[in-house]
């Protein structure tokens, strides 16, 4: 979409909080506000429009906003002509406000349901972990009996391993569901990335491209968890984990004269189907091309860690 800086009228309906009628300028026609034959104000705008609108010189269209209170949901673009009446514009204005209220209510409901589900699961995981903590005392008591009965030693080791595995899974679930708040510090990005990758991959299986002496003001722990989840997903999706290769590129860019960092993560895996590229970041959704069940929390964590830094994550691979 064209930026608001290039075409101020693109989001004019949002700033005015109401419908706005536009017409694409004819050749040599002055730009600015004029009136239709029905007396409606019209914004005559230049022809460098979003090509998806496909408007010809002299054609009209109408933008109306979708607002939930002060929250901007978006806008809707409708075709119209010079015969549009004020009464119909007023009706569209009412429909616009009603639509915004309805969409806002739906979004709030989904957010409330999601928070309630996360809280319930987090509480359940905490309660199970608390009750499970007694297993450590029980296994230590069985350890004391190994001299009397050496045959139980292998069983004790299996029990302790199962206990650690279950406790680790419960703690992982709680960590994935906790609210992510960034505690920032200056990070040497190249060194940090290599520290993240080294436990998972050998040096010949990953490549890091970072500008020299590049630093970022970020939460080291959150980003380390983010990178670990991405690598784990690469390994889970591979038929041969030892054949996985990863490339991470880091670049800077400005938004409204503010510096931002973009991290581009690539692997040689099978990719994600187009219809799942957004869904994989939803809470509790898991996609594994080789089959098997997952918690659907790993990429949720990735999304939340990015959001805690004011950023976002998306999948754009083929």
Residue range 102-120, pLDDT digits in tens: 777 777 776 676 666 666 6
Q: Report pLDDT for 117.
A: 62
Total-model pTM:
0.50
For residues 57 and 47, is the Cβ–Cβ distance under 8 A?
A: yes
Instruction: With H, G, I as helix, E, B as strand and everything else as coil, classify residue 216.
Output: strand
Closest CA to 126 of 201, 178, 58, 63: 178
Q: Does domain 185-308 have CATH number 3.20.20.70?
A: no
Give tens-digit pLDDT for 273-307. Answer: 888 888 888 877 788 776 666 667 788 888 888 88
Q: What are phi and psi of 170, to 5 degrees?
A: -65, -45
| Distance in angstroms (rounded) separating the CA atoms of residues 91 and 104 | 20
96 burial class (0-12, 13-18, 19+ CB within 10 angstroms)?
buried
Q: Over the range 20-43, which residues count as b (16 or more CB within 10 Å of their CB) and which as e?
A: bbbbbbeeeeeeeeeebeeebebb
**CA atoms in the 13 A half-sphere facing the CB of 78:** 17
Closest CA to 262 of 216, 212, 318: 216
Closest CA to 295 of 307, 305, 308, 280: 280
86-90, 272-276, 286-290, 310-314: segment of lowest average pLDDT: 286-290
| Distance in angstroms (rounded) separating the CA atoms of residues 161 and 163 | 5
């Amino acid at each position: 979409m064209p930026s608001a800086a290039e075409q101020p009228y693109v989001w004019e309906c949002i700033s005015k909080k109401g419908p706005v009628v536009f017409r694409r300028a004819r050749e040599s026609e002055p730009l600015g506000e004029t009136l239709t034959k029905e007396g409606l104000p019209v914004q005559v705008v230049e022809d460098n429009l979003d090509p998806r609108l496909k408007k010809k010189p002299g054609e009209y269209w109408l933008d109306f906003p979708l607002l939930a209170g002060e929250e901007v949901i978006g806008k809707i673009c409708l075709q119209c002509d010079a015969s549009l009446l004020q009464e119909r514009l007023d009706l569209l204005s009412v429909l616009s406000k009603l639509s915004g209220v309805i969409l806002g209510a739906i979004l709030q409901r989904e957010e409330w349901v999601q928070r309630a589900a996360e809280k319930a699961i987090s509480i359940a995981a905490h309660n199970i972990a608390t009750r499970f903590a007694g297993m450590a005392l029980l296994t230590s008591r069985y350890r004391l009996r190994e001299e009397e009965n050496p045959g139980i030693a292998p069983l004790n080791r299996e029990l302790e391993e199962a206990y650690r595995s279950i406790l680790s899974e419960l703690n992982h679930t709680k960590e994935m569901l906790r609210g992510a708040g960034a505690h920032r510090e200056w990070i040497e990005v190249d060194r940090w990335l290599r520290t993240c990758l080294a436990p998972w991959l050998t040096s010949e299986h990953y490549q890091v491209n970072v500008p020299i002496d590049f630093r970022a003001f970020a939460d080291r722990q959150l980003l380390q968890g983010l990178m670990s989840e991405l690598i784990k997903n690469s390994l889970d999706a591979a038929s041969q984990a030892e054949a996985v290769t990863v490339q991470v590129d880091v670049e800077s860019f400005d938004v409204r004269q503010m510096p931002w960092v973009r991290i581009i993560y690539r692997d040689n895996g099978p990719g994600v189907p187009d219809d799942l590229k957004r869904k994989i970041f939803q809470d509790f959704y898991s996609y594994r091309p080789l089959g098997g069940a997952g918690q659907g929390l790993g990429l949720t964590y990735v999304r939340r860690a990015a959001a805690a830094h004011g950023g976002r994550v998306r999948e754009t691979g083929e």
